[in-house]
Amino acid sequence: MDTIFALATAQDRAGVAVVRVSGPAAHSVGMQMCGTLPKVGSFAVRPVSSDGDLIDRGLVLTFAAPHSFTGEDVIELHLHGSIAIIDRVLDTLSAFDGVRLAEPGEFTRRALENGKMDLAQVEGLADLIDAETEFQRAQAMQTVEGALSKVVEDWRARLINAASLLEVTIDFADEDVPVDVAPEVSALLESVMSQASDEISRSYVSERVRTGFEVAIVGLPNAGKSTLLNALAGRDAAITSEFAGTTRDVIEVRMDLDGLPVTFLDTAGLRESDDQVETIGIERAIARAKTADLRVFLSENVSDLPLDPLPQDIVVAPKADLRTDGTGVSGVTGAGLNALVQEVKAVFADRATHSGLTSRARHRTSLQSAVTAMKDASRLVNQGPEVYDLAAEELRTAIRSLEFLVGRIDVENLLDEIFSSFCLGK
């Protein structure tokens, strides 16, 4: 078996750089580079050398299988974050026999294969590393900790319990067995179904937390939408001019609103236009505004616009700097800007409280097919023992869907999909 290594921190100048080595040769390689290793489960400062040539002095951590991230023998070298030091250490490592640079995601793959994590946890880890905001971090962490897997395993256990009740009446019909299992089976199905359905609706919110909420800024041409976007971004993201119809394409600015990932969209002003390019821009603006999670109408009178605000949408008067009543928002002076941001944040913070344990379409699809099968099973169970064979079949389908979710079966393609989203060394 190969021993693998990689830089675990970002590839740039930094205070500290961590190089991780995992596999059967990890300890012997460590001893050849550092003289002696700290005892297992501890750390100490050691010289790191190549053929007697001192490269750096760093903190060395020793882990022994199976008590490590990958479940193998592991050492970690915490070095000074210099590009030259890192290059030299990686070169030295690759010169050992049976030691090579890790492939993308290989550390995590080994952790998975050695039973240190399940699939859902691995996906959570990918999200955790990609997390930019506090809400994203908290959500991903929950998955890494196995919250989803735990819930799904619990559902699975209940469904297996329900299936076994049905099977008893089928396979032991000739013996002394409980006759009416329908109430117990139905109760088990109901409990799992309602929780799974709830999880499905929450997953849409979670998906938003993971990918970001979208806010479309809409209004008439020259209402100051681009100016507002630039003020929100704190930079010139969109071109502004006194000419109406300057913005043609949709411009996005991604922000962290107290831990919530929010993308503001600047769109073309909505009006009748003879300009072919502007007309395309307007169509695009309307389409994006409709699919966005929230719309900010920068408008005195929304009936001027070819789009109606939905219940939580925000309507605010444009160009507060030119007004005297103290209302509205201005990208030029910043008036009303903070109030607008607070309002947007309040809407999403409320929605985010309904987030669930999963944020992935793959999970949702599995849950959905499990729920569909459970509904069918439930209906059949109520029809009576004559169709228990069919009910049992639906239950098997439901159980298989849940197993697919946590990656117990049919995982070949899934693995490729998951591991392709990893960069080296994570």
Partner 1 sequence: MKHFDVLVIGGGHAGAEAAHAAARMGARTALVTMTLSGIGVMSCNPAIGGLGKGHLVREIDAMDGVMGKVADKAGIQFRLLNRRKGPAVQGPRAQADRAIYQREMLAATQAQDNLTIVEGEVVDLKMSGQKVTGVELADGTLLHSTTVVLTTGTFLRGIIHIGEEKHSGGRMGDKASVKLAERIDSFGLPLGRLKTGTPPRLDTRTINWSVLEEQQGDDEPAFFSFETTKLAAKQVACGITHTNERTHEIISKNLARSAMYGGHIDGTGPRYCPSIEDKVVRFADKTSHQVFLEPESLTGHTVYPNGISTSLPVDVQEDYIHSIVGLETAKILQPGYAIEYDYIDPRALDASLQLRATTHLFLAGQINGTTGYEEAAAQGLVAGINAACLAQGREPVQFSRANSYIGVMIDDLTTRGVTEPYRMFTSRAEFRLSLRADNADQRLTPTAMDLGMVSVQRRALFDSKRDALEVGYQALSREAYTPKHISRAGIAVKEDGTRRTPYQLLAFPDVQFKDVVRVQPDLSAIDRPIQIQLARDALYANYIDRQQKDIDRIKKDEAHVIPTGFTYAGISGLSNELSAKLESARPDNLAQAARVEGMTPAALALLLAKLRQHQKKSA
Is 109 annotated in some ligand binding site? Answer: no
223 is known to lie in a ligand binding site: yes
CB of 247 closer than 8 Å to CB of 225: yes
Beta-carbon count within 10 A of 408 CB: 16
Residue 345 annotated as part of some ligand binding site: no
Find the shortest distance in angstroms from Cβ 189 to partner 1. Answer: 18
Q: What is the DSSP string of 19-58?
A: EEEESTTHHHHHHHHHSS-PPTT-EEEEEEEETTEEEEEE
Closer to partner 1 by CB, 48 or 112: give it.
Answer: 112
426 annotated as ligand-binding: yes
* Residue 134 three-state SS: helix
Asked whether residue 244 is marked as a ligand-binding residue, the answer is yes
Whichever of 105 and 328 has its CB closer to partner 1, that residue is: 105
Pairing outcome for strands 294-298 and 251-257:
unpaired
Burial class (CB in 10 A: 0-12, 13-18, 19+), 286: middle
Is 109 or 364 the residue whose CB approaches partner 1 more closely?
A: 109
Shortest CB 90 distance to partner 1, Å: 21
Give min distance, CB of 386 to partner 1, in A. 6
- The Cα–Cα gap between 289 and 183 comes to 48
Pairing relationship of beta strands 294-298 and 314-316 according to DSSP bridges:
parallel
Q: Tell me the closest approach of the beta carbon of residue 268 to partner 1, in angstroms.
A: 45
Binding site for partner 1 (CB under 8 A): 1-2, 71, 109-110, 112-115, 119, 167, 170-176, 383, 385-390, 392-393, 396-397, 407-412, 414-415
Q: Is the Cβ of residue 240 or residue 366 nearer to partner 1 in the bound state?
A: 366
- How distant, in Å, are the alpha carbons of 119, 151, 372, 407 from that of 411? 9, 20, 22, 6
- Least distance from C-beta 170 to partner 1, angstroms? 5
**CA dihedral sign, ordered 3, 9, 10, 16:** negative
Q: Confirm whether residue 246 is marked as ligand binding.
A: yes
Cβ distance to partner 1 smaller for residue 79 or 125: 125
Going by the annotation, the residues of the binding site for Mg(2+) are 226, 247
Going by the annotation, the residues of the binding site for (6S)-5-formyl-5,6,7,8-tetrahydrofolate are 20, 76, 116, 426
Going by the annotation, the residues of the binding site for GTP are 222-227, 241-247, 266-269
